[in-house]
Amino acid sequence: SAVISQKPSRDICQRGTSLTIQCQVDSQVTMMFWYRQQPGQSLTLIATANQGSEATYESGFVIDKFPISRPNLTFSTLTVSNMSPEDSSIYLCSVEGGVTRTQFFGPGTRLTVL
């Protein structure tokens, strides 16, 4: 399994500002995924990031709000732009690994927007 780290682990931000979350993997991976987990809810896929191409966003998520970068095979960033309190969530990155293409998750970034 891959070892995944995220920075920051948590942050408290003001409304209208932006936060960039970093995800680092200890091995090269093709696909990286970004999820949101709103308080008391399950995980919702935001987008899939493939190195060298534009991220693919799920319904309800747009690039202007959640721009993603994928500069190489071990790193990705997710920016939460123009934040509002409704963006308060845990944001998790994951990678796909192994023959069965299981997803492995980072520890998450706990975001609170005031």
- Residues of the shown chain interacting with another protein in the complex, contacts defined by CB under 8 A: 1, 4, 30-31, 41-43, 45, 48, 92, 94, 96, 100-108, 110
Our CA angle for 52, 36, 40, nearest 5°, is 170
Rounded Cα gap, residues 110 and 112, in angstroms? 7
Q: How far is the CB of 55 from another protein (least distance, A)?
A: 12
Looking at beta carbons only, is 61 or 104 nearer to another protein?
A: 104
Q: How far is the CB of 30 from another protein (least distance, A)?
A: 8
Looking at beta carbons only, is 32 or 113 nearer to another protein?
A: 32
Q: With contact defined as beta carbons under 8 Å apart, do 95 and 2 qualify?
A: yes
Tokens of 72: 């190489």
